Amino acid sequence: MALALELDWTKVKAVIFDVDGTLYAQSKLRRRMLYDLLGYYALRPWRLQEMLLLRRFRAEREKRPGHQGPNLESAQYAWCADNSQFSVAQVRAVVGRWMFSHPNQYLGRCAYPGTRAFFDALRQQDIKIGIYSDYPAHDKLVVLGLPADVVVSSTDPDIDQLKPNPKGLLHIAAALGLATTDCLFIGDRPELDGECAERAGMPYLIVPRQAFDQFTFYHDLVRALTAAPAPATLSSL
């Protein structure tokens, strides 16, 4: 793993970000969502099993790190529907609402301090920006106000692999016309994001676990980037 203070930013031509837990505080968003879910299903107790369905959807994906196969976007819903009372269409509808649509209204309040400033600083230094997310990220980036040059999800037809398989990172580097060693990946999970970067031969940083009101990671990166640090060799070790 590269250390933030040791990075030679003159050698970094692109920064690739994970999204959930990397650009915003996932725990803060989940607390807000739990409030909404309880309020919604308290008035509809006959549909309470849908809340358990959301947990199962995440769990089924978590059980398959590195999964690769055709049409992953559809397969993830089939995993969740298998041996349940829900059809694939029902799973897709519930997940689409509560995981991919409803939470977006709260993302702005959950964005980590300094994320936009760091994106702006990267632009000013002509450093490309990529996104490699486990889930579709375009709508989230619009809400967060964080445009990127390349946006890739694990479930895109060109990828069809879950982390820590490195295909997403390799795809982004190729799309940007860069070697993997010219890129820096920033994620929040060492066992997935870190392992993914190591398999791709790409330097990476892991977002530290800091209280939201004490989170300084991106502000620290802005200072490091704009201070022109002394040359050092990026290392993925």
The 10s digit of each residue's pLDDT in 43-79 is 999 999 999 999 999 999 999 999 998 999 999 999 9
Q: What is the 3-state secondary structure (H, E, C) of 21-60?
A: CCCECHHHHHHHHHHHHHHHHHCCHHHCHHHHHHHHHHHH
Domains of the chain, residue spans: 4-25+111-226, 28-106
pLDDT over 70 (residue 133)? yes
Say if residue 52 is exposed, middle or buried (CB neighbours under 10 Å; 0-12, 13-18, 19+).
exposed
Rounded to an integer, the average pLDDT of 97-117 is 96
Q: CATH number for the 4-25+111-226 domain, one of 3.40.50.300, 3.40.50.1100, 3.40.50.1000, 3.30.56.10?
A: 3.40.50.1000
Task: State yes or no: pLDDT of 29 exceeds 60.
Answer: yes
Which pTM does this prediction carry?
0.91
